[in-house]
Amino acid sequence: MLYKAVKGFKDILPYQVGTWNRVESEAKRIFELFGYREIRIPVLEKAELFARGIGQDTDIVSKEMYTLEDRKGNRLAMRPEATASVIRAYIEHKLYKGYPVQKLFTIGPMFRYERPQKGRRRQFHQINVEIIGDPGPKSDSELIFMIMYFFSSLGLNDFILNVNSLGCLKCRGPFRAELRSYLDRYFVQLCPDCQKRMETNPLRVFDCKVETCNQIIKDAPSMLDFLCNDCTNHFDSVRLYLKQLDLDFVVNSYLMRGLDYYTRTTFEVQTKEMGAQNAVAGGGRYDNLMKEFGGPDSPAIGFAIGVERVVELLEEHVVQEEEGPDIFLAPLGKEAEDKSFVWLQELRKGGLRSEMEYRSLGLKAQMRHADRLRARKVLIVGEDELIKGKGILRDMVSKEQIEIPLDNLVDELIRLLIR
């Protein structure tokens, strides 16, 4: 073999695509019910957009971004997430003109140079949703409700919903100071990365995957003890609405999320399976990003679902059979083959999933192929059938056979088989 896919980049093969389509179409169906509109954004952006939005000191920006220079020396990045691009587009196209609240979703590939493992790829796909322009807390709760409804409509219910509040800039300052002085006590035990994080942004120590740092962070001060009155009220209301919507959740005060833009509510949906890569969706509020990007002072909140992880859960838990063709044409002899070729295209135009083997095979081989494709019915037409003007229509499940006139064949088959 001369070429293999790049490490961490995977093909989605025909037998897998059915599940992918199901996830995406269910997302679109539900988001439309909730009033969200699709936006499509580019895969490449200026690298600075992500550095500024997600944060220079985050793992995503400092270690995982695919960056490149174009021929004019502009530094670009393959998007590692969608939020920064959606906000850029909202400002660039002045989507706030008219009605300032915009509910948007986008679906597509993201790129992060992480160590590939189960549930973690370098090219992965997100279903990403944002509400721009509403300060919440109803929007916060609606989004969380919508994700959980999406999962349950796919037949997936075994999740833990974690929620937290990261406060606003006003209450984050004192927390950060307290956290720094706590971590100072353990400075020598922290990994070299976290020692650097102490200088740049001690909150990022929460993202560390090194066990000793995890142990230290377990007893760190909790952000929730530092929330100002407004942030406390906001978080209380979010929790109240979630209860009214009958959602089970746990408050996890260490849920910091790996992106710098978050303020107030953050949340993550975790599966009990998949080991370390257990987050199937995550998000939160980011009330300062729009202003940071030079747009209006507008609050926002959103989340992203990791499609690979959802597909994996569905493949393991929800049995889904691929649908076969409605009709398989099995002609014998040149005249029947040529007639069938034309019928085949007309049947497809008429809305029937129709198949035929072009390689002039015997009846046995054609029946085997129809079986493999899981065809509902097979139409057998040989010389005798042409003379009689009647084909044989065989049901592949009951094995029952009936005769069917050939003069008005296409209309007759459509009448019989259309679902």
* Residues listed for the chain: 419
Binding region for ligand HAM (CB under 6 A) out of 185-193, 212-220, 242-250, 305-313: 305-313
Residue type, 56: Q
Which of 281, 289, 313, 406 binds ligand HAM (CB under 6 A)? It is 281
Tell whether residue 279 is a contact of ligand HAM (CB under 6 A). yes
CA distance 239 to 235: 6
The crossing angle, in degrees rounded to 10, of helices 409-417 and 334-349 is 50
Q: Which of residues 75-94 bind ligand HAM (CB under 6 A)?
A: 81, 83
Tell whether residue 308 is a contact of ligand HAM (CB under 6 A). yes
Backbone dihedral angles phi then psi of residue 283, each to the nearest 5 degrees: -175, -165
Binding region for ligand HAM (CB under 6 A) out of 119-127, 206-214, 229-237, 410-418: 119-127
Residue 308 neighbours by CB under 8 Å, 6+ apart: 119, 121, 124, 125
Query: x/- contact string, 282-301, with ligand HAM (CB under 6 A)?
Result: xxx-----------------
CA distance 405 to 415: 13
Tell whether residue 196 is a contact of ligand HAM (CB under 6 A). no
Q: Enter the tokens of residue 413.
A: 């088959």
Rounded to the nearest whole angstrom, what is the least distance from the CB of residue 375 to ligand HAM in the complex? 36
CA distance 44 to 242: 37
Number of residues that bind ligand HAM (CB under 6 A): 24
CB nearer to ligand HAM: pick between 283 and 295: 283
Tell whether residue 264 is a contact of ligand HAM (CB under 6 A). no
**Would you say 101 and 131 are in contact if contact means Cβ atoms under 8 Å apart?**
yes
Q: In what order do the strands lie in the sheet with 390-395?
A: 354-356, 327-331, 377-381, 390-395, 401-405
Q: Which of residues 125-164 bind ligand HAM (CB under 6 A)?
A: 126, 128, 130
Tell whether residue 114 is a contact of ligand HAM (CB under 6 A). yes
- DSSP, res 189: G
Kindly list the residues in this chain that would bind ligand HAM in the complex (CB under 6 A): 81, 83, 112, 114, 120-121, 124, 126, 128, 130, 258-259, 279-284, 302-304, 306, 308-309
